[in-house]
């Protein structure tokens, strides 16, 4: 059973386009994180959201946590080739566990 | 943001051998985590360790695995008798300040032949 489902799995867009990737679950999360991972490296934390409906911005990246804290989205404005990479969402279930559950990721390619 | 180093960066071992992977936080932490990622698959939780005791572990973390804090600074993950399917990237992680965010180390690539 996929606790965290990310879509799309793969996304290829032209430089300058906007895009949104999604992270969905039937479970409620206490907090949710977005990471970016390069091949052969560890996930690098981009943002943490904790409140339902919360929106956080990091330059051209906008992150939103769903009102029910079951889903999240990452929107990139005017994508650049440097945005190419694997974007992972991860969260801790509200039941009180501190372990992170990861999605499989969205592999983004931005073509110059 | 906690900084973490991991050694070795790459370890090649024969099936059945014991391996010890190390994680060194830059600052003092009581809490740390180990995760693994098989090539092409998602990151999976192995174990969390708090104040010298295991606080949570997953089904993956069976009797072949153990964790320690041998000298009060670095943390180790030991696999007693490696299997081919243990080949993966192993990451340690430290907690941050917001929610349950965790900061990951660069990982150790374990290859079991």
Residue in B with minimal Cα distance to A106: B42
Cβ-based contacts of B107 with chain A (< 8 Å): 40-42
| Distance (Å, whole) CA B7 – CA A67 | 41
Kindly state the tokens that stand for A11.
Answer: 């996304």
pLDDT at B31: 84
pLDDT for A23-45, tens place per residue?
999 999 999 999 999 999 999 99
pLDDT of A64 over the 90 cut: yes
pLDDT at B1: 67
Look at strands A106-111 and A10-14 and give their pairing: parallel
pLDDT at B30: 77
Work out the mean pLDDT of chain A and round it to a whole number.
Answer: 94
Cβ-based contacts of B45 with chain A (< 8 Å): 99-101
pLDDT at B92: 95
Kindly state the tokens that stand for B45.
Answer: 């939780």
| Distance (Å, whole) CA A69 – CA A49 | 9
pLDDT of B28 over the 80 cut: no
pLDDT at A1: 53
Region B27-55 average pLDDT: 90
Contact A111, A81 (CB under 8 A): yes
How many Å separate Cα B35 from the centre of its chain? 6
Residue in B with minimal Cα distance to A104: B42
Q: Write down how long chain A is.
A: 112
B contact test, residue of A4, A32, A98 with most B CBs within 10 A: A98
Are B109 and A40 an interchain contact pair (Cβ–Cβ within 8 Å)? yes
């Amino acid at each position: 059973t996929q606790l965290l489902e990310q879509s799309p799995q793969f996304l290829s867009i032209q430089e300058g386009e906007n895009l949104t990737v999604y992270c969905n679950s039937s479970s409620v999360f206490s907090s949710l994180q977005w990471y970016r991972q390069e091949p052969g490296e560890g996930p690098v934390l981009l943002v943490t959201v904790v409140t339902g409906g919360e929106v956080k911005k990091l330059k051209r990246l906008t992150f939103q946590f769903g009102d029910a804290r079951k889903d999240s989205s990452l929107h990139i404005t005017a994508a650049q080739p440097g945005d190419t990479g694997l974007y992972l969402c991860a969260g801790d279930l509200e039941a009180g566990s501190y372990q992170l559950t990861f999605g499989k990721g969205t592999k983004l390619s931005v073509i110059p | 943001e906690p900084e973490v180093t991991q050694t070795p960066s790459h370890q090649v071992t024969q099936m059945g051998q014991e391996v010890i992977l190390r994680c060194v936080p830059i600052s003092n932490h009581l809490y740390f985590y180990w995760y693994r990622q098989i090539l092409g698959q998602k990151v999976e939780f192995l174990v969390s360790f708090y104040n010298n005791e295991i606080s949570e572990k997953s089904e993956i973390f069976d009797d072949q695995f153990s964790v320690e804090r041998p000298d009060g600074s670095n943390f180790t993950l030991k696999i007693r008798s490696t299997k081919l399917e243990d080949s993966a990237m192993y990451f340690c992680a430290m907690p941050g300040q917001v929610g349950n965010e965790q900061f990951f180390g660069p990982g150790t690539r374990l290859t079991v032949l």
